[in-house]
Amino acid sequence: MLDRKFQCKMLRNLGMKLKYTLGLLFSLSIFYCSSLIFANDLMVEMGIQPPKIQLEAPSFSLQDLNGKSVSLADYQGKLILLNFWASWCGPCLEEMPAMQAAWEKYSEQGFIILAIAGDRGSSKAVRKFVSKLKLTFPVLLDPDGDVRNDYEVMALPTSYIIGRDGKIAGRVARSKDWASEKANALIESML
């Protein structure tokens, strides 16, 4: 049987460990919540609409320019910028260099760009566009518009931000400077 002094000491130590653990969990939850609020504030400042209810991003599988099948599920747990565009779209042409810059800066940290081309018919114009701009992020082909319809895209370019949890965090239906200070802060807060 343990003596009373030793039992009291053990309980105090256990209490201190419990206080430390609860304090740490509280601090982490405050940090997580504040980073979500910060990310939402940045999205609003950038004109990106956060949804009222965060839903799972619709899954899809499309071919890239090399004929390889790529699915959204391949990037589970990553921060994804899903961009719908077309080679004939002027604003799409304007935002692509900034997207490339963001890709080069953050891809090693788990930031993924999936650019879904809405061009109908041959992929020749898409290939020319990608080559001209020296784009290195994944470019996928949606010639029938099925994925574009699933995401209710009405104008090009339209971009979705999909969080690491696989849920839609925001949507914007116009070009953005994805290499701006605000965009960098947004990406960093969500990584």
- Label the pairing between strands 79-85 and 111-117: parallel
Enter the tokens of residue 120: 């109908």
Separation of alpha carbons 61 and 25, rounded Å: 38
DSSP character at residue 54: -
- Label the pairing between strands 139-141 and 61-64: antiparallel
Residue that has been written with the tokens 């061009």 in this structure: 119
Q: Is the peptide bond before 143 cis (omega within 30 degrees of 0)?
A: no
Residue that has been written with the tokens 């460990």 in this structure: 17
Phi, psi of 185 (to 5 degrees): -65, -40
Q: Please list the active-site residues.
A: 92
Separation of alpha carbons 115 and 130, rounded Å: 10
